[in-house]
Amino acid sequence: MLLSVITFLPLLSVAALLLLRSDDHAWIRRIALISSLFEFAFSLVLLFRFDPSNAAYQFTEYHRWIGDAISYRLGVDGISLFLVLLTTFLTPIAILCSWESIQTNVKGFFVSLLVIETAMIGVFVSLDLFLFFLFWELTLIPMYFMIGMWGHGRRIYAAVKFILYTMFGSILMLVAILWLYGLSGTFDLTDIQQYLATGSLPHTTELLLFGAFFLAFAIKVPLFPLHTWLPDAHTEAPTAGSVILAGVMLKLGTYGILRFCVPLFPKAAQEMAPFIGVLAIIGIVYGALVATVQTDLKRLVAYTSVSHLGFVVLGIFAFNATAIQGAIYQMLNHGVSTGALFLTVGMLYDRRHTHDIKQFGGLATPMPILMSFFLFIALSSLALPPLNGFIGELMILIGTYIGHHVWASWASSGAVLSAIYLLWAYQRVAFGEVTVEKNRALPDASTRERIILVTMALVILFMGIASPLFTRRMEASVENVLQRVNAPVNASRPARIPCMGAPADAQTTGSSTALAAVQTGVRQ
Amino acid sequence: MSTTQLLNLYRVAPEFHLCIAGILVMILDPFVGPARKRWLGWLAFAGALFALLAVHRAYESQGMAYDNLISTDTFSVFMHVVVIVAASLAILGSIDYLDREGIQRGEYYALVLFAAAGMGILAGANELVTAFVGLEMSSISTYVLVGFRRKAAVSNEASMKYFLLGSFATAFFLYGIAMVYGATGTTYIDKVQAALQASGSIPSLAIIGLGLMFVGLGFKVVIAPFQVYGPDVYQGAPTPVTTLLASAPKAATFALMLRVFYVSYGAASEFWFWAIWISAVLTMFIGNLAALVQTNVKRMLAYSSIAHAGYILVAFAASTALGIQAVLFYLAAYVLMKVGAFLVITHLGQQGEKRLDIQDYAGLGMKQPVLAVSLSLFLLSLLGLPATAGFLGKFFAFESALDAHSVHGVAIIWLVVIAAINSVIGAYYYLRVIISMYFAEPSKDYVPSSVAPALSVAIFVAAAGTLYLGLLPSRVLDFARAAADSLPLH
């Protein structure tokens, strides 16, 4: 029952919101916030009752739905657990950050936001391909409204581009899902997996099916060269939209790859891994380079996503425990860090109504607090130890290095480039003399903004220090995926890979406990 | 009355009720003053509801009626429900529309009822000449209905065009029947099947007959290459008539097509598979690509209904029982969402049907939120968004087509892929309307008018049905399966 409650609680609050008068903005905001906090509390219950040693799906629910083949089946494992938490964590933040900036059609905005929450959680917890697809498509429409109605500038263009790109990918995935049903007679993920494990799938069919699934996910991630919708959508979306889009929605793609593409079609995944790995690296470097030359701050942050998500894809297709755990961890880090970057950019926008870097400069003088948090968040995004981004990138790079030295060395250039574009952007925005007179009188962070920023900063720090708390819960599920991938080629790949998981973990743990000690020292 | 006669009557009870109600409306019409004419609409609606109850009667006494002319099987019952629901929603949408346009007449409702009765016969016919009678009955009624806005030139033009081309098409159908009779010596749908099976190879005369019938029926369901008249007629007709035209006759004619192709010519599916395949591809591309560039919402919806006929053909091409089930489910879903969309347009058009451009709906989301939400629901369902009827319609259509790949090979997989790509093309123009309603600045000159109760009820029913079929399709799906199984496939 717990998963159903978590999935549909936002819809319940939508019903409550619809009953309110549409000009009663104060209560609409309050109810949205309170319900999303309850939602977060429920997901914490999920976290504490989760059994890390169990690799199978937990909290499973099953009801018959349409015919014998389609059922309502939910469950979480170590891969989806934290993504659910990420969603429930970012939604109240997104609601808080829209508290004042959204003034038109307030009801519609919060309804959209909560519907997106239900849909995204639904994607993460569905264990039936039909149900999964339903939630997957359901994420699109409210996000489309969010960009189109409350966005900036070329919002309509961005909204249409966003939805058409994603739909094109997902419709071919639908054909693939139906094809799988034709083969196996069921939409149930575990049953399909069992059917496919018998190895009865012809090689070409497997490649085609893998391709159809992968295309849908790669567009969502987005993997180079399918990323062109992302800068537009992220830039034109309202702050909350960008936070949700970058924070969670991109992870639907990487989650899909990890949940469906790789375990269902392991041979095809291994065969295509060299190409995908190269695309991921191109994405890392290209995204970073393009980000460097942006003059629009929000667009810059948007391009960092292309780069960072490249790391995640690379980690997945390195096919070893460290890299995949790193990839999952990096999904969470990216959600928090990039979400926080968009939040600060949004706060600047609320003050100046522009994203143009030239319009800023020397902002550290009028707004020391906001700019300090901006720096902290930028540092986490560029993977400075002991912050969260460091752990994720390091695990990915170490894991990738085992099998693919060249990949790892190219990818690490992305880590360097990220320091360049973020610090340079920060320098142009915050340091030096105040260049635009208007900026002198800008108010510093308000209480509401401080609450948001402090929360984000604490989570960033916590995830940097306490990474084992997270990775420990992922291990069993990741091992599960790897077993599927490595089963056919066990002979050629000796068992040296799994043992790498432990040292990498220990290393990061060691460094982070040391740093934690320093931190506590500082606080005292 | 003997039991046989009584059973015969039970088996055509829906048509019987529709005709009685129609005649009653005609008789009462002269005695009702102009101010009370709208009550005839309610009478017609009541007649349609009684007919819906009578469908239940027919369901309980299934079998052949009138010497095998009419086959009242579950298939026929399913189609009757679809047709009568569409007709009654169209009647509800007409009552206030006719007042608004100043053309409130009794014969309008009578014609709708007679058309529905004709479609009922079409759906239940087991004999081709009987089917022809049903086809003519529904066609002639709709020719008149299309031209019901006598003073509007577009309406007259549409009526004339529909009448001329329609008569031509039915002639093709009739000629096809003659060929079939020549080839097999019978016009009974089930006996044609037996005759063709007995003859071993399919005689070419029978194939020509099928081709001619395909022309006639293809015209009525508006599929390529017989679709040219469709948008003009749909646009010119009074919107409630378009509502009817785009839904019920299409469903009924598809029912007859299923009987002719699947039952009579079931053994010859490799002959007609490619005809359907090509027609499906053309229909989808023409419908979707032409809809992309429309600025008139009514015309855009007309092209969209062409595109949807294409998706139905994808399931049709499967030539399996699963295919029939998918076609039936799609028709039920399609009728609800299409009727809903046209009903909303009926209201938004305002007097003289002037406000049908996409820009006219700018800012509707702010001004009339409920109406805008319902139109969005119907459009998203037409687009194929999950949790709506339209999605499951496509879902089962694709599923049944993929399932038939063992029969038809790779060709049908490509058909599904083409259909999938088409549904993304389609997304663009449905979303354009939503963009206008929600993202554009409200137009200044629009004065919202309140929605009449009858129309609100009709829109609500269509919306509820769209969601019901999208979320809990099991019952309708089982019904469709029973209907598919009730056809005597070869």
| pLDDT at res. A370 | 87
CB B489 within 8 A of CB B266: yes
**CA–CA distance from B318 to each of B206, B277, B403 (Å)?**
21, 10, 8
Report the alpha-carbon distance of residue B468 to residue B390 in Å, rounded.
11
Q: Which residue has the higher pLDDT, B445 or B36?
A: B36
Q: Output the six-digit token pair for B121.
A: 């016969």
| Shortest CA gap B421–chain A (Å) | 7
| pLDDT at res. B482 | 93
- Smallest Cβ–Cβ distance between B402 and the set A159, A168, A179 belongs to A179
Report the alpha-carbon distance of residue B156 to residue B147 in Å, rounded.
5
The structure tokens 């009922």 sit at B120
Report the alpha-carbon distance of residue B191 to residue B212 in Å, rounded.
19
| pLDDT at res. B440 | 81
Report the alpha-carbon distance of residue A343 to residue B294 in Å, rounded.
40
Q: In which element (H, E) is residue A73 found?
A: strand A70-76
Which amino acid is located at B133 in the chain?
V
| Nearest Cα residue to B429 out of B245, B223, B290, B224 | B290
Q: Output the six-digit token pair for B400.
A: 């049944």
Q: Is B118 left (phi over 0), alpha (psi -120 to 50) or beta?
A: alpha
Cβ-based neighbour number of residue A178 at 10 Å: 25
Report the alpha-carbon distance of residue B180 to residue B192 in Å, rounded.
8
Q: Output the six-digit token pair for A223.
A: 């993997």
What per-residue string of b and e applies to B129-144 under the rule 16 or more CB within 10 Å gives b?
A: ebbbbbbbbbbbbbbb
Would you place residue B161 in the very low, low, confident or very high pLDDT band (cuts 50, 70, 90)?
Answer: very high
User: How many residues would you count in chain A?
Assistant: 524
Task: List the single residue in A with minimal CA-CA distance to B438.
Answer: A149
DSSP three-state, residue A392: helix
**CA–CA distance from B164 to each of A384, A397, A414, B132, B235 (Å)?**
77, 73, 69, 17, 17
Cβ-based neighbour number of residue A71 at 10 Å: 21
The arithmetic mean of pLDDT across residues B211-233, rounded, is: 92
Would you place residue B1 in the very low, low, confident or very high pLDDT band (cuts 50, 70, 90)?
Answer: low
Cβ-based neighbour number of residue B388 at 10 Å: 25
| Nearest Cα residue to A515 out of A470, A471, A462, A473 | A462
Which residues contact residue A325 at a Cβ distance below 8 angstroms, ignoring those fewer than 6 apart?
A: A395, A399, A471, A474, A475, A478, A501
Please report, for chain A, the start and end positions of each structural domain, with discontinuous segments joined by +.
269-524
How do B70-72 and A58-66 pair as beta strands? unpaired
Write the DSSP string, B301-322.
HHHHHHHHHHHHHHHHTT-SHH
DSSP classification of residue A432: S
Q: Output the six-digit token pair for A239.
A: 């702050």
Which residues contact residue B428 at a Cβ distance below 8 angstroms, ignoring those fewer than 6 apart?
A: A160, A164, B292
| Helix ranges, A126-246 (H) | 129-138, 140-150, 155-184, 189-197, 203-220, 229-236, 239-244
| Per-residue model confidence as pLDDT tens digits over A36-51 | 999 999 999 988 888 8
Round to the nearest angstrom and report the end-to-end CA distance of chain A: 44
Contact between A164 and B438 using a beta-carbon 8 Å cutoff: no
Write the DSSP string, A443-492.
----HHHHHHHHHHHHHHHHHHH-HHHHHHHHHHHHHHHHHHHHGGGTTT
Cβ-based neighbour number of residue A72 at 10 Å: 16
| Nearest Cα residue to B59 out of B475, B482, B474, B488 | B482
CB A137 within 8 A of CB A170: yes
Q: Mutation target for A interface from B402, B403, B477: give the one with most A CBs within 10 A.
A: B402
Q: Output the six-digit token pair for A94.
A: 């997104």
> Above 90 in pLDDT, residue B178?
yes
Residue pairs between chains A and B whose CB atoms are closer than 8 Å = 73
Q: E-assigned strands of A241-363?
A: none
**So what's the ipTM on this one?**
0.87
What per-residue string of b and e applies to A292-331 under the rule 16 or more CB within 10 Å gives b?
A: bebebbbbbbbbbbbbbbbbbbbbbbbbbbbbbbbbbbbb
Report the alpha-carbon distance of residue B453 to residue B383 in Å, rounded.
28
| Per-residue model confidence as pLDDT tens digits over B58-86 | 998 888 888 889 999 999 999 999 999 99
Q: Output the CA torsion A426→A428→A430→A431 (10° steps).
A: 120
Cβ-based neighbour number of residue A203 at 10 Å: 10
How do A70-76 and A58-66 pair as beta strands? antiparallel
DSSP classification of residue B439: I
| Shortest CA gap B475–chain A (Å) | 9
Q: Output the six-digit token pair for A495.
A: 């068992």
* A105 contacts on B by Cβ (under 8 Å): 366
| Per-residue model confidence as pLDDT tens digits over B135-146 | 999 999 999 999
DSSP classification of residue A524: -
DSSP classification of residue A361: -
Q: In which element (H, E) is residue B64 found?
A: strand B63-65
| Shortest CA gap B284–chain A (Å) | 16
| pLDDT at res. B438 | 86
| pLDDT at res. A488 | 54
Which residues contact residue B175 at a Cβ distance below 8 angstroms, ignoring those fewer than 6 apart?
A: B212
| Per-residue model confidence as pLDDT tens digits over B299-311 | 999 999 999 999 9
Contact between A66 and B402 using a beta-carbon 8 Å cutoff: no
| pLDDT at res. B4 | 84
Q: What is the largest CA-CA distance in chain A?
A: 70
| Nearest Cα residue to B77 out of B264, B263, B332, B330 | B332
* B365 contacts on A by Cβ (under 8 Å): 108
C-alpha B120: how far from its chain's center? 12
Which amino acid is located at B464 in the chain?
A
| Nearest Cα residue to B424 out of A170, A351, A319, A101 | A170
Contact between B424 and A167 using a beta-carbon 8 Å cutoff: yes
Integer Rg of chain B from CA: 21
pLDDT averaged per 10 residues in sequence order, chain A, 524 residues:
89 87 84 91 89 85 85 89 92 89 84 92 92 91 88 86 87 89 86 82 88 91 87 87 90 91 88 90 90 88 89 89 89 91 89 84 83 90 85 88 84 86 87 80 84 90 87 85 70 37 39 39 36
| Shortest CA gap B159–chain A (Å) | 37
Report the alpha-carbon distance of residue B129 to residue B69 in Å, rounded.
9
Q: In which element (H, E) is residue B57 found?
A: helix B38-60
Q: Output the six-digit token pair for A431.
A: 């340091």
| Shortest CA gap A470–chain B (Å) | 34
Task: List the single residue in B with minimal CA-CA distance to A131.
Answer: B386
Task: For chain B, list residues whose CB is within 8 angstroms of any CB belonging to chain A.
Answer: 365-366, 369, 380, 385-387, 391, 395, 398-399, 402-403, 405, 416-417, 420-421, 423-424, 427-428, 431, 435, 438-439, 473-474, 477
| Helix ranges, B151-223 (H) | 153-184, 189-198, 204-220
Report the alpha-carbon distance of residue A165 to residue A154 in Å, rounded.
17
* B406 contacts on A by Cβ (under 8 Å): none
